[in-house]
Structure 1
Amino acid sequence: MNHVPTVSVSELPDDAVLVDVREPQEWAAGHAPGAVHIPMGDVPARLDELPVTDDPLPVVCRSGGRSERAVQWLVQQGFDVVNVAGGMRDWHRSGKPMTSDSGQEPTVL
């Protein structure tokens, strides 16, 4: 298995620009305010929507598994990306800001 570049939630600023690769219902329930939603299956077709940053771009899912696979693939395509270890579960647990599309209390599905 190739080494996948990883970052912990505590290393990211609260206003970090993230790519969230979870499914639409997961995104709607709660996500980081600075996140861009591109479901994992859509990533290859939506590369032009990846935010441009000076630092490696963090990729997040619920717990880190899907984002790890997305990061592996994006690294092979030449992108400077990192997997967010622990995903949105750790983001939520650490008290980082979240928002929801419904206006309800944000949660991680």
Structure 2
Amino acid sequence: MPTVEVGDITDGDFLLDVREDDEWEAGHADQALHIPMSEFVARFGELTEAAPQDGKVHVICRSGGRSAQVTTYLAQQGIDAVNVDGGMQAWAATGRPVVDDKGQPGFVA
């Protein structure tokens, strides 16, 4: 499965967060699109509308397990997707900003 390190993600890269609502509300990457894994198939159209047609979809969860499953599914659908190794835990550990739903500093739940 294609994987990328947090440090390789740039500001313009498309980021899909597949964690559940309570995790998202506690803290997330500001630019991410949120579609929980538990709702992913039903809400797949939201991704296809938002994702760049010619770019990668960087899939992230808490530690990398759920995002790996979604990355596999997206690849089967012909979407250029990569799993973010270490997930939001690695994101926060590298000092990347984490915000809550109000745009205030958040945390990885």
Please confirm whether the aligned pair reaches a TM-score higher than 0.5, indicating the same fold.
yes
Give the Cα separation in 2 of the matches to 1:74 and 1:97: 26
- Kept in 2: contact 1:58–1:81 (CA 8 A): yes
C-alpha displacement of 1:16:
3.6
In the superposition, the TM-score normalised over structure 1's length comes to 0.89
- Kept in 2: contact 1:15–1:33 (CA 8 A): no
C-alpha displacement of 1:17:
2.6
Partner of residue 8 from structure 2, selected from 8, 11, 14: 11
Give the Cα separation in 1 of the matches to 2:97 and 2:62: 15
Residue 81 of structure 2 corresponds to 81
Residue 90 of structure 2 corresponds to 90
Query: How high is the sequence identity, in percent, across the aligned residues?
Result: 49
Going from structure 1 to structure 2, the CA distance change for 1:79 and 1:15 (only over 3 Å counts) comes to closer
Give CA deviations for 1:43-99 in whole Å, capped at 9, x if unaligned: 111121113223211000000000001111111111111100000001001111221
- Kept in 2: contact 1:16–1:34 (CA 8 A): no
Alignment of 1:1-109 (within 5 A): 4-14=1-11, 16-50=13-47, 51-53=50-52, 54-102=54-102, 105-109=105-109
Greater displacement, 93-102 / 18-27: 93-102
Greater displacement, 12-21 / 52-61: 12-21
Q: Report the aligned-residue RMSD.
A: 1.4
The number of residue pairs the alignment matches comes to 106
In the superposition, the TM-score normalised over structure 2's length comes to 0.89
Give the Cα separation in 2 of the matches to 1:31 and 1:46: 19
Moved over 6 A (4+): none
For 1:75, give the aligned amino acid.
Answer: A
> Structure 2 unaligned runs (5+)?
none
Greater displacement, 40-49 / 8-17: 8-17
